[in-house]
Chains A and B, each alone.
Chain A
Amino acid sequence: MKGLIFDIKRLALHDGPGIRTTVFLKGCPLNCRWCHNPESRCFDTELYMHVDKLEGKVFKKQKEIGYWMTVNEAMKEIEKDKIFFEESGGGVTFSGGEPFAQYEFLTGLLTACRNRSIHTALDTTGYIKREQLKNVYKLVDLFLYDLKHMDDKLHKKFTGVSNKLIIENLEWLSNRKRNIKIRFPVVPGYNDSEKNIDLMRALLEELYPDVKHIDLLPYHKMASSKAERLGLKQQVYEIEEPDAFKLGSIRKKFEETGFVVGIGG
């Protein structure tokens, strides 16, 4: 069995504790307007025009985004930094796309990590079949759980899917005392309204203290330029980056109720 990966990034500092390697699985059932990894969405390899520059001369070549790997091949890459994981209490983070979208491959990776005592984190949209979550949740040491919008209508509008399953899965996981960190992408004009923040806080308060950590991920404009550079066809929305004041006030709101809040993950 092979899985489709679009990048493996070593010394990732933002995706969980310690020094980590983040494995990006390609393909996502969501279609978020602010997605900062446009190459992560399609479930197949994609062609793009690669450009090298050498002393002012330009060399163009068509290349593919994404490569198929077996679990063993992926583990070989992951284990390269094992000594750093051990030294720092780090490990591997599976991100995407939505890792669960390649459920069997993900299960293989998580099992292999458990067998080799490698700490695992899973960066997920939460848009997961419960059956699948049930089967593997014990293999995950830390969930980095995205929460995007509380209003189901708007959630559908901005991401293409309902938030119902996402919220239910979060509640289900939290009841099982899993280690969960909420990730809230702060996207001005989309989900930073007072109302949305209040609703989110209300939901999370019910889960407290099983859920205690929230990372605010401020939207950054890199996404649109990345899509352009890769020549990927994707509608680009004009979105502003949140200002520090706004982030600070959101942070304060959550901190007031006892949450530990980080900015930038």
Chain B
Amino acid sequence: MNERVRKLREQSLNAINRLSHERAVLVTDYYQNQNTQGLSKPVERANLFEYILMKKNICINDFELIVGERGPAPKATPTYPEITLHSLKDLDILDSRPKVSFRVDEKTRKIYKEQIIPFWKGNTNRDRIMQNMDKEWLNAYEAGVFTEFQEQRAPGHTVLGKKIYSQGMIDIQKEIREQIEKLDYYKDKDAYDRREELKAMDVVAGALIMFAERHVAKLTKLAANEQDSKRKEELEKMVAVCRKVPANAPETFHEALQYYWFVHLGVITELNPWDSFNPGRLDQHLYPFYKKGLNEGSLDTEKATELLQCFWVKFNNHPSPPKIGVTAQESNTYTDFTLINLGGLKEDGSDAVNELSYLILDVIEEMRILQPSSMVQLSKKNPDKFIHRALKIIKTGFGQPSVFNTDAIIKELVRQGKSVEDARNGGASGCVESGAFGTEAYFLTGYFNFNKVLEITLNNGTDPVTGKQIGIQTGDPTKFRSFDQLIEAWKKQLNRFIDIKIKGNNIIEKINAGFMPVPFLSVLIDDCIKNGKDYNAGGARYNTSYIQGVGLGSITDNLTSVRYHVFDKKDIAMAELLKALKANYRGFDELRHKLVYETPKFGNDDEYTDRQAVIVFDCFYDAVNGRPTARGGEFRINMLPTTSHIYFGSVIGAMPDGRKAGKPVSEGISPVQGADIKGPTAVIKSVARIDHIKTGGTLLNQKFSPVFFNTEANIVKLGNLIRAYFRMDGHHIQFNVVDAETLKDAQKNPENYRDLIVRVAGYSDYFNDLGEDLQNEIISRTEHRM
């Protein structure tokens, strides 16, 4: 990388994550001082958006080519008091916690104390949500049966399609105004609602242009004062770029990147949607600009690389908004899950890999930073060269890019009812979640704790941790005559908790649709304009809500232990097992040894065990899939944990697979850490037994020793391994290429490993930023050697 990029990268790496009160103050000022009387909710929110972009500090960093910061400076991270309010105690925790901390200075504390907290206390969306949840929901939530995604962040989780590469905001405003003209107040009962939503969209589209103009003004001033003639020229060029976009459609590579970046800032300023936002199929969107630039001679690969690297730094400057409580536990990371997609298929079904796909892979390898995250889509139509190139980056051991099965993603999306073209324009976002980019609003609603449900089942409906009865009485397990009876009981509990979760979700969806419309995000996602309907209210072409199952490996091993020892071999009585669990295996060493070492485990390509995984998966699917959501979409399942497997483990006592109380459960669809002893092909066969096509994403983590990647021939074999998994409809696989010794040493001497990035679950993170329990969990994941 050149000197500029090196400096920008350093700046970004060295910037301290801190909490900025800027946005909180502007939002509070707006509601305190601006006249919002008589405004519809969408217009009120649109005016707020405009207000923030008009008032916020414009930050332009030295050397940069792509401009715009969400906060007043890199990594100065705003808060969203209308969604959730941080108490002074929360601020202390954020400031002082050892991991994923945010510095909070005295001034911010004072402003929070005097202005923000008094205004918002009891009036946030979080308060609204919690007040509307019933006792059953709160009990289950507090017990850790599930988490709630919308508790501190807005729904979002979507990816931009092609739209902005052919339309400027002026074009979009024109389209919006035409829609307003077309409204039929005689036949359409929702005409007023549509008009208000469309008016709001018009305001926010204009606001983004205004925001760019503010950058133009500042850049012009900087250019005038610049002594260095080369930088002066750059600044003048940037003035022209920001004048052109987002008002108009981009015509150059630079303009396309800058346009996206303004849009990105708009989305993450409007609210704090989950998984920030995402340009998605970057190699596809930028390719025409790249080609055009090369043909005209206005761009070369060096310049394109530099611009991409500057663009990369911008993502890294934007940590995920500060999370607290359960939300911090389920997603304990600075990463905000922008996932760049490369490769895959074009809309017409042909191979989409192009020169830019390779160039961007070079950028990923060279930048080696946390954000943005990256992945390759691998279709059977993509060349081997592409996956081999990706594997050579994976080999360097920072967990990126991860590898996705394009053909499976398309099947999943089409199965859910999307057109094949929309499916082909899609990919994966966040950790592993399938989506139709640019046309789908897919919310993740919460993680679901399979193993907690089993614990409650084994205690006849009671949570042994609190002694509260929160499930239904499905019977005393010592009276069960067959394994099927246990499955039936577990299924009843599962259905019950899924019902509770879905009821809560549907209430929350209505609250978000009514109180937290997002006109700016709605401008970007089709067909919100056409429908005159907000993204949060079902305006998108496709609307999906996910519940994410967690701990498949653990529950499979737990059920298998019971099936094998209690019902098949009959060498352990149920009563004895329950006693051992209650005692957390104290005094049951022999028994525990048998459960850990002499019991079949998931991940070893063994039908006897894997059958339990399929049962759990099918029950979960049946309980959730296809049920209607409040905004007119459907509920679906996927299987990913982020960091919730640590939290979920912490609320469960000892379990029948020999796991002790409080220890993590397995992550994604991976086997229990260390239980897969037959190697990667066996793991792949086991996890392929569940039907990935019925999900919206599954996550498989494999830890490999670096020697696995040491020859060209082995790289080819790893490519074959992935292809075989994908032939079995596997959705995703990611690799941690680092040996256990290195990790142990890093735990002891963190100072020597400040740059060590490892794969966690659907994303990578600095090893030093992980909690000790998560570090231990990663060390204990099986490292496959040759």
Please determine whether B681 and A81 come into contact, CB atoms closer than 8 angstroms. yes
Which residues of A are found within 8 Å of B786, using beta-carbon distances?
11-14
Cβ distance B657 to chain A, nearest Cβ, rounded Å = 13
Please determine whether A19 and B681 come into contact, CB atoms closer than 8 angstroms. yes
Please determine whether A18 and B680 come into contact, CB atoms closer than 8 angstroms. no
- A199 contacts chain B at the CB level, 8 A cutoff: no
Tell me how many residues of A have a C-beta within 8 Å of chain B.
20
Known A-B contacts A80-B605, A83-B724; the reply to A11 vs B680 at CB < 8 A is: yes
- A237 contacts chain B at the CB level, 8 A cutoff: no
- B727 contacts chain A at the CB level, 8 A cutoff: yes
- A87 contacts chain B at the CB level, 8 A cutoff: yes
- Complex CA distance for A13 and B719, rounded to whole angstroms: 13
Tell me how many residues of B have a C-beta within 8 Å of chain A.
26
Known A-B contacts A14-B786, A18-B717, A19-B717; the reply to A88 vs B724 at CB < 8 A is: yes
> Nearest B residue to A50 by beta-carbon distance?
B597
- B392 contacts chain A at the CB level, 8 A cutoff: no
Cβ distance A123 to chain B, nearest Cβ, rounded Å = 16
> Nearest B residue to A17 by beta-carbon distance?
B713
Which residues of A are found within 8 Å of B721, using beta-carbon distances?
11, 19, 84, 87-88
Contact of B717 among A10, A13, A80 (CB under 8 A): A13
Cβ distance A92 to chain B, nearest Cβ, rounded Å = 13
> Nearest B residue to A52 by beta-carbon distance?
B597
Which residues of A are found within 8 Å of B178, using beta-carbon distances?
none
> Nearest A residue to B713 by beta-carbon distance?
A13
In this complex, which of A11, A18, A54 has the most chain B Cβ atoms within 10 angstroms of its Cβ?
Answer: A11
Please determine whether B720 and A84 come into contact, CB atoms closer than 8 angstroms. yes
- B596 contacts chain A at the CB level, 8 A cutoff: yes
Please determine whether A88 and B593 come into contact, CB atoms closer than 8 angstroms. no
**Bitwise interface map of B from 583 to 595 toward A, beta carbon under 8 Å scored 1, else 0:** 0000001101100
Contact of B720 among A9, A10, A19, A57 (CB under 8 A): A19
**Bitwise interface map of A from 76 to 115 toward B, beta carbon under 8 Å scored 1, else 0:** 0000110110111010000000000000000000000000
Which residues of A are found within 8 Å of B720, using beta-carbon distances?
18-19, 84, 87-88, 90
Cβ distance B719 to chain A, nearest Cβ, rounded Å = 8
Contact of A10 among B590, B679, B727 (CB under 8 A): B679
Please determine whether B593 and A52 come into contact, CB atoms closer than 8 angstroms. yes
> Nearest B residue to A8 by beta-carbon distance?
B678
- B414 contacts chain A at the CB level, 8 A cutoff: no
Cβ distance A43 to chain B, nearest Cβ, rounded Å = 26
- A245 contacts chain B at the CB level, 8 A cutoff: no
Please determine whether A59 and B681 come into contact, CB atoms closer than 8 angstroms. no
Which residues of B are found within 8 Å of A84, using beta-carbon distances?
681, 720-721, 724
Question: Which residues from 605 to 626 on chain B have a C-beta closer than 8 Å to any C-beta of chain A?
Answer: 605
Please determine whether A59 and B593 come into contact, CB atoms closer than 8 angstroms. yes
Cβ distance A236 to chain B, nearest Cβ, rounded Å = 24
Which residues of B are found within 8 Å of A18, using beta-carbon distances?
717, 720
Question: Which residues from 562 to 601 on chain B have a C-beta closer than 8 Å to any C-beta of chain A?
Answer: 589-590, 592-593, 596-597
**Bitwise interface map of A from 15 to 36 toward B, beta carbon under 8 Å scored 1, else 0:** 0001100000000000000000
Cβ distance B586 to chain A, nearest Cβ, rounded Å = 12
Which residues of A are found within 8 Å of B727, using beta-carbon distances?
83, 87
**Bitwise interface map of B from 681 to 721 toward A, beta carbon under 8 Å scored 1, else 0:** 11001000000000000000000000010000110110011
> Nearest A residue to B597 by beta-carbon distance?
A52
Cβ distance A87 to chain B, nearest Cβ, rounded Å = 4
Which residues of A are found within 8 Å of B592, using beta-carbon distances?
54
- B728 contacts chain A at the CB level, 8 A cutoff: yes
Which residues of A are found within 8 Å of B724, using beta-carbon distances?
19, 83-84, 86-88
Please determine whether B723 and A87 come into contact, CB atoms closer than 8 angstroms. yes
- Complex CA distance for A59 and B597, rounded to whole angstroms: 10
- Complex CA distance for A9 and B592, rounded to whole angstroms: 28
- Complex CA distance for A87 and B378, rounded to whole angstroms: 15
- Complex CA distance for A12 and B682, rounded to whole angstroms: 12
> Nearest A residue to B678 by beta-carbon distance?
A10
Which residues of B are found within 8 Å of A14, using beta-carbon distances?
786
Which residues of B are found within 8 Å of A87, using beta-carbon distances?
720-721, 723-724, 727
Cβ distance A96 to chain B, nearest Cβ, rounded Å = 19
Cβ distance A97 to chain B, nearest Cβ, rounded Å = 20
Which residues of B are found within 8 Å of A83, using beta-carbon distances?
724, 727-728
- Complex CA distance for A144 and B708, rounded to whole angstroms: 22
- Complex CA distance for A251 and B717, rounded to whole angstroms: 24
- Complex CA distance for A9 and B685, rounded to whole angstroms: 15
- Complex CA distance for A19 and B681, rounded to whole angstroms: 9
- Complex CA distance for A81 and B683, rounded to whole angstroms: 11
- Complex CA distance for A145 and B682, rounded to whole angstroms: 29
- Complex CA distance for A11 and B590, rounded to whole angstroms: 33
Cβ distance B87 to chain A, nearest Cβ, rounded Å = 40
Known A-B contacts A10-B679, A11-B680, A13-B717; the reply to A54 vs B593 at CB < 8 A is: yes
A/B interface sample: 30 pairs, CB < 8 A: A10-B682, A11-B681, A11-B721, A11-B784, A11-B786, A12-B786, A13-B708, A13-B713, A13-B717, A13-B786, A18-B717, A19-B721, A52-B596, A54-B593, A54-B596, A59-B590, A59-B593, A80-B605, A80-B682, A81-B685, A83-B724, A83-B728, A84-B681, A84-B724, A87-B720, A87-B723, A87-B727, A88-B721, A88-B724, A90-B720
15 more contacts with CB within 8 A, not counting A9-B679, A18-B717, are: A13-B708, A13-B713, A19-B720, A52-B593, A54-B589, A54-B593, A80-B605, A80-B682, A81-B681, A81-B685, A83-B724, A86-B724, A87-B721, A87-B727, A88-B717
Chain A residues at the B interface, C-beta cutoff of 8 Å: 9-14, 18-19, 52, 54, 57, 59, 80-81, 83-84, 86-88, 90
Task: Report, nearest first, the 7 A-B pairs whose CB atoms are least far apart.
Answer: A88-B720, A87-B724, A87-B720, A11-B679, A84-B724, A10-B679, A10-B681
Chain B residues at the A interface, C-beta cutoff of 8 Å: 589-590, 592-593, 596-597, 605, 678-682, 685, 708, 713-714, 716-717, 720-721, 723-724, 727-728, 784, 786
